A and B are shown apart, each in its own frame.
Chain A
């Protein structure tokens, strides 16, 4: 139906937005989903879960050698205790950067990502460019992120799946010996836990 732009009806959402509304209405009518539960999920991932969760865990690994050892060996019971387990049943693996090896994470299949620790992945993590190139030319991709690694440090790329998701433990910056866990956590960025950046320096 043609209409002029002064017509004072509500703004018509995009085609996919209307299809999602249709799906939601149908599934709600059938009792398969509860709108309140949907709002809760959105609020959780939009406002409550984010890289601060992962940063807290990594800071504790830096500060507490016993916790560090446990997280590298068998992190799932601890993550469950901390309420940071994946509701999709995935298994977390922490991979630690060293002088010899820099780790970075990708999902070549789709966008598998440790939601409970990092929240929803950034757009670039979901892009074809990153997903294809992280495996093929990781050093070049890292350089585009502004991260040039020493020649002697090798890059190891971990391909996350629905079952196993990786989180990079960045190297603890020098000069941070006296810092509290909270102050350490502030140095640990989302990208440093994906492996496309290093942890921030203490004095920035």
Chain B
């Protein structure tokens, strides 16, 4: 395999990687969960995902991160699966109905 070495790569490869990272850090800092608990759960998800493929540390890393956060928030009753599905649908529709170049907003 190749290691990227010391090339100055971006902290986050995609905006949503940064966003899900920031959400998690913000919730931790607000005291909703301990970082050690987060790391243990995240490690479990990574392990489960790594059984079927070798994780590259990029997109699939943050996919595992997102899955862990969704499950944790649902378990803590801070989020509801049905509401998340609804919100995602609303955002999808907003993107599809907003002309290119205009800011995409949720109408709710």
Contacts and interface: CB of A to CB of B under 8 A. Distances in A.
Nearest to B83: A26
Nearest to B64: A110
Contacts of B26: 33-34, 37-38, 41
B57 A10 contact: no
A154 interface: no
Contacts of B101: 10
B91 A124 contact: no
A120 B69 CA distance: 18
A78 interface: no
B19 A24 contact: yes
Interface string A1-32: 10100001111111011111111111100101
A128 interface: yes
Interface string A124-137: 11111110000000
Given A26-B79, A162-B36, A189-B6, A42 B19 contact: yes
Contact of A21 (B14, B32, B88): B88
A10 B100 contact: yes
B12 A122 contact: no
Contact of B27 (A32, A109, A126, A129): A32
A19 B16 CA distance: 9
B22 A110 contact: no
Contacts of B56: 123, 127-128
A123 B5 CA distance: 10
Nearest to B26: A33
A196 to B, nearest CB: 7
B29 A8 contact: no
A38 B24 CA distance: 9
B36 A23 contact: no
Contacts of B21: 41-42, 45, 120
Q: Which of B15, B22, B40, B101 has the most CB of A within 10 A?
A: B22
A123 B7 CA distance: 11
Contact of B36 (A3, A146, A163, A190): A163
A191 interface: yes
Contact of B5 (A20, A50, A191): A191
B9 A38 contact: no
Given A21-B88, A25-B91, A130-B57, A110 B4 contact: no
21 contacts: A9-B99, A16-B66, A22-B84, A23-B23, A25-B91, A27-B73, A27-B78, A33-B26, A33-B27, A41-B21, A42-B19, A42-B22, A45-B22, A111-B61, A122-B4, A126-B58, A127-B54, A128-B46, A128-B50, A128-B56, A162-B38
Given A23-B79, A24-B19, 18 more contacts: A8-B100, A10-B101, A16-B63, A20-B20, A21-B91, A23-B69, A23-B87, A27-B27, A33-B30, A34-B26, A38-B26, A41-B26, A110-B42, A124-B4, A126-B61, A129-B1, A162-B36, A162-B39
